[in-house]
Structure 1
Amino acid sequence: MEKAAKAGEAKGDTAAAERPGVKRRRVATQGAGPNDAGNGGDDSPVCPPHPGFMFDICIRCGKKKEKGDGDAGGTRGGDSGSTAVRYIHQGLEMSNAELEKAKREEKRRILLSGRLVLVLDLDHTLLNSARFSELSQEEHYAMHRIIAAADCEANGGSKEEVQQAAAAIQPVEDPVAAESAEEKEDGADVDGEKGEEEAGGKERARDGPFPGTDPPLRHLNCLRHMAMFTKLRPHAHAFLRAASQLCTMYIYTMGDRNYAREMAKLLDPTGELFNGRVIGSGDSTSQYKKDLDIVLGAEPTVLITDDTDRVWPKNLANLIRIDRYHFFKQSAAGFRQPGRSVMERQWRDEGDNGDRAQLRDVLAVIAAAHRRFFEGTAAANTADDAIAEMDASMLRSASATEGGDIRQTNHKPVSDEEASTKLESRDVRRLLTVPEDGPLANVRVVFSRVVAQSEPRPERHPLWLLATALGAEVLNAVDDGKGATHVVAHAGTGDGDGRRTDKVKWAAKTPGASAVSADWLAKCADEWARVDESRYSLLGPDDGGKVRDEPVVDTGGEDADVTGSPPGSPGYSA
Structure 2
Amino acid sequence: MKTISERGFPQDDYDDFDDTPEENTEKTCLHPCVFRGKCVSCETIALKYVHQGMWLWLNKDEMDRIRKIESEKLLEDKKMVLVLDLDQTLIHSTRQEKYLRTPQELLQHELRDSLFRLNRPWEKMMLKLRPSVHTFLKEAGTMFEIYMCTTGTRSYALKATEFLDPENVYFISSRIIAREDLLEINEKSLDLVLKEERMVLILDDTVSVWSNHESNLIPVKKYRYFDSDHDLGVVSLSALGTDEGETTGALTTVLQQLKLIHRLFFNPKFEGGLQDRDVRDILNRLRVLQGCTLSFKHIFPSDFRPENSRLWLMAEELGAKISMDNLINPITHVVTWFATAEEFEEAEMEEIILVHPKWLRACYKALERVSEKEYLIKPKD
TM-score (norm 1): 0.46
User: 1:338 maps to what in 2?
Assistant: 234
- Structure 2 vs 1, CA of residues 262 and 444 (structure 1 numbering), >3 Å: closer, same or farther? closer
Q: What are the ranges of 5 or more consecutive residues in structure 2 without an aligned counterpart?
A: 1-27, 294-312, 332-345, 357-371, 375-381
Query: 1:317 pairs with 201, 204, 215, which one?
Result: 215
Query: What's the offset of the Cα at 1:309?
Result: 0.6
Q: Residues 548, 232 of structure 1: CA spacing in aligned structure 2 closer, same or farther, 3 A cutoff? A: same
What is the CA–CA distance in structure 2 between the aligned matches of 1:146 and 1:308, rounded to whole Å? 33
- Corresponding residue number in structure 2 for 1:350: 244
Alpha-carbon distance change, 374 to 281 in structure 1, aligned in 2, over 3 angstroms: same
**Shift of residue 217 of structure 1?**
5.9
CA distance in 2: counterparts of 1:548 and 1:319, whole angstroms: 33
Distance 1:263 1:473, change over 3 A: closer
Matched, 1:424 2:275: yes
Counterparts of 1:28-39 in structure 2 under 5 Å? none
Distance in 2 between residues matched to 1:469 and 1:241, nearest whole Å: 28
SS at match of 2:203: strand
1:115 to 1:473, Cα distance in 2 relative to 1, 3 A: closer
TM-superposed CA distance for 1:148, in Å, is 2.0
Q: Identity over aligned residues, as a percent? A: 27
The letter of the residue matching 2:169 is E
What's the counterpart of residue 82 of structure 1? 48
Structure 1 residues 167-566: aligned runs within 5 Å: 213=110, 216=111, 218-225=113-120, 227-276=124-173, 277-330=175-228, 333-339=229-235, 341-346=236-241, 348-351=242-245, 356-376=248-268, 421-434=272-285, 445=291, 470-472=316-318, 521=321, 530-538=322-330, 548-549=354-355, 551=372
Larger Rg: 1
Following TM superposition, by how much is the alpha carbon of 1:116 offset from its aligned partner in structure 2, in angstroms?
0.5
Is this contact kept in 2: 1:431–1:469, CA < 8 A? no
The answer to whether the 8 Å contact 1:534/1:545 transfers is no
Residue 85 of structure 1 contacts residue 283 of structure 1 at CA under 8 Å; is this kept in 2? Answer: no
Which residue of the partner structure matches residue 97 of structure 2? Answer: 135
1:531 counterpart letter in structure 2: S
1:32-47 equivalent positions in 2, closer than 5 A? none
**Counterpart check, 1:149 vs 2:97:** no
Give SS of 1:255's match: coil
1:107 and 2:71 correspond: yes
Task: After superposition, give the CA deviation of every residue in 1:397-438 in whole Å (9 maximum; x if it has no partner).
Answer: xxxxxxxxxxxxxxxxxxxxx87x2543210011121259xx
Distance 1:434 1:242 in 2: 24
Query: Per-residue deviation at 1:82?
Result: 1.7
Counterpart residue identity of residue 354, structure 2: R
Q: Following TM superposition, where does structure 1 have runs of at least 4 consecutive aligned residues deviating by more than 6 angstroms? A: none
Partner of 2:4: none
Q: Hey, what's the Cα distance between the residues in 2 that align with 1:129 and 1:295?
A: 26
CA gap 1:122/1:473 in 2 versus in 1, 3 angstroms: closer
Aligned-CA RMSD value: 3.2
- Could you tell me how far 1:472 is from its partner in structure 2? 3.7
Deviations 1:272-298 (A, max 9, x none): 212221111111233421000110110
- 1:433, 1:468 within 8 Å by CA — same for their partners in 2? no
Contact 1:435 1:469 in 2 (8 A): no
State the Cα deviation string for residues 118-166 of structure 1 (Å, max 9, x = none): 00000000001112xx323xx324x76762235xxxxxxxxxxxxxxxx
Q: What is the CA–CA distance in structure 2 between the aligned matches of 1:309 and 1:469, rounded to whole Å?
A: 26
* Contact kept in structure 2, 1:256 and 1:282, CA below 8 Å: yes
The structure where strand makes up a greater share of residues is 2
Conservation of the 8 A alpha-carbon contact between 1:268 and 1:274? yes
CA shift in 2, pair 1:90/1:470, >3 Å: same
Q: Offset at 1:552?
A: 7.0
1:122 aligns with 2:86: yes
